[in-house]
Structure 1
Amino acid sequence: MDALLILTGIVLTLVAWVWLASLAWRQSVGVFVLALLLPWLTLFLRGFKLLPRLLLVMGLVAAGSGLYLLQRDQPERFAALISGQWMATPEASVQGQMLGQVFNPERVYWQGQTLIFEERSGERLRRALSLEFSQVPMLLEDSLIERLPGDQGGWPELVLQWHAGALEAPGLRRIADEYSLSLQFIPDPGQQSAQVRIHLHLPVSHATWLNGEATLVPVPDWLRQLGQKARQPAPEPATTELAQPARQAMADRSWQPFSVLGLVDEPDPFLGQPLRLTTWSGRVYEGRLREVSESRRLVLALPQGPNQVDLHFHPLDVRSLEVLSSP
């Protein structure tokens, strides 16, 4: 709707402009120059027909309404339009799955207190994944947000939306907690945009994950304020330990560094074996290798009380990997 209003407004304004300029040509050179350079001033002058001036008013109102709707609903496209960046930015590289279906959002933006990833087909929304921070604004006090199953404190609510087609009702699912999230905002020096890095994995029953990096335009106010401050120190490494019997069994064994790519290429000898994995954010995880997925991600099984949690790690997110040596 906003694009249609803007296009209609431009067409009506151009038609009225040419019409008013042709009428002014018959009067005098001064009036012609005025109508050519400042056509809206002809609304207050005599000697011009009502219809072209009415077209000019309609065109300005339509274009203004379209710009207002664009700024309200799609602020990143409005900022790109005003700055002259009319072509789609190629930096966005986010991919994943939503409920078992391929999810490749091409639009990432911040609205209110919500980060939204959208996949569209033309003007029709196909799938959207939103992270709502309205109930946990304290998480926005840092540009790095990390949550793991079992963590204490508030969680951003995760909202999944999908539209299968005109004959089916839209779908909606909300997940309050117990998923794995690593979300980092990196403002550019000019504060005009920011890079967003996300690694999101839901429990297996949801068949949903999202990884990648995208450009966020414009920069949210809270992130703009953080951009002027020194980044807070990273939290102390949180180590998820194995169960007590497993720790006792490994007491006489030592950890040895191992190649991440070597493990990805030949995982079979290490399936079910204890691993210690350290990410670039400083977190340390100890668990057993369950598998290397088809997308070449390490799946680490960690005990969580009476249950088990599977965490997925991209090889590029792993700073170091260690295996237990033989006793």
Structure 2
Amino acid sequence: MARGSDYGAFMEKFLLQPSSSPHVLPLNSLTFAVKDIFDVEGYVTGFGNPDWLRTHPAATSTAPAILAILRGGATCVGKTVMDGNGIQLGLQVDLSFLCTSLLLCELLKGQFLCSTHGINRHYGTPRNPCVPDRVPGGSSSGSAVAVGAKLVDFALGTDTGGSVRVPASYCGILGFRPSHDAISTAGVIPLHKVLILLDFGVLAIPTVQGPPPKLLTDPPALDAFRVRAYDLLSIAGASGFCQVSIPLGLYENLPVAISLLAKHGSDGFLLNLVETLYSALKEEVGIAENLSY
């Protein structure tokens, strides 16, 4: 398949039209893509791996999360590449969103995976539109790249250990991980199970502990980076917290992001808080950049 013009983000392209309605729908005219872990009727859910794709039948129904977005007026334009290098089965994912605007996150209100780098040796690694010589982050790599490259308005991914938050921070876009069980994960290949629920307020932390690794970084160095990253990423994964990764711009030509976490069930509160703080955060970053010159 020819994927050069789409940053290598897509596994396959198709059109799922929105539901017809006499009313103006909240997602009218918007386009989205879905990670190749979501069922779409008539298509094999490929799980990022050609052997899985070859040995499994086409889905007989479409994931409820996709159907809900179609009912909201958006058009699905295809499935995106994900990590596809190892196997870990039998548990559960958390559905997450990647988008370029807070408004989209509010309207929308996890690997053969287990990698935060976005590397797929079978289909090729999607190209990071923000820093082309760096990895895009994973495992929802194609979804983040599609949004970062403005190929779609938003995308669906999955996130337990950082699979949306990491690529969002690397590609300079917003990444939202809802509270566990806030959105149906039916029709999604099951993976990780979320553990205990804690009761904190809002916590501000770096999304990851450093800039995205360079492409072709040695595997041991990638593994060491991943282990360090999980020190921060596991907070939401183990607790069921909701989390938003917020792009703050570039520092020395590399993307920088901060995350806000809130207790389980506080999704609406967290998104409203981010909307309130976002402009002020960007302004403070601009001031800091000017002072550094």
- What TM-score bracket applies, with the shorter chain setting the length? under 0.3
TM-score scaled by structure 1?
0.24
TM-score scaled by structure 2?
0.26
Larger RCO, structures 1/2 (Cα 8 Å, 6+ apart)? 2
Asked which structure has the greater CA Rg, the reply is 1
Q: Which has the higher strand share?
A: 1
